[in-house]
Amino acid sequence: MKPKRSRFVYENTMKTAVVILLVFSTAFAQRTFNAEEGLGGATGIEARIDLGAVEMTLGRVGNPSEAFKVHFDYQENEEVPHLSYEVADGKGIFHLSNGKHNKHFSFFNFGDTKDSVDIKLANSVPLSLKVNFGVCDANVDLGGMMISDATFSTGVCGFNLDFSSPNKIDCHNLKIKTGVSSVDVENLSNARANYVELEGGLGSMKINFGGKLAHDCDVSVKTGLGSVDITIPAGINTVITTPEGFLTSVDVAGFYSQGGGVYRSNVTTGPRLKIHVESALGGVNIKSY
Q: Which amino acid is residue 266, in one-letter code?
A: N
pTM for the whole thing?
0.86
Cα 242 → chain centroid: 25
Residue 145 or 111, more confident: 145
Average pLDDT over the chain reads: 86
What integer pLDDT is reported at residue 27 of this predicted model? Answer: 43
Task: Give the number of other Cβ atoms within 10 Å of residue 65's Cβ.
Answer: 10
Per domain, the residue ranges of the chain are 1-108+119-127, 142-289
- Cα–Cα distance measured from residue 110 to residue 159, given in angstroms and rounded to the nearest whole number: 14
What integer pLDDT is reported at residue 134 of this predicted model? Answer: 86
What integer pLDDT is reported at residue 136 of this predicted model? Answer: 87
Whether 114 shows a pLDDT value over 80: the answer reads no
User: pLDDT for 51-100, tens place per residue?
Assistant: 988 899 999 999 999 999 999 998 877 778 999 999 999 999 999 998 76
User: pLDDT for 261-274, tens place per residue?
Assistant: 899 999 999 999 99
Whether 121 shows a pLDDT value over 90: the answer reads yes
Positive/negative CA dihedral, 245, 249, 254, 257: positive
What integer pLDDT is reported at residue 100 of this predicted model? Answer: 63
User: pLDDT for 240-250, tens place per residue?
Assistant: 998 765 556 78
What integer pLDDT is reported at residue 26 of this predicted model? Answer: 38
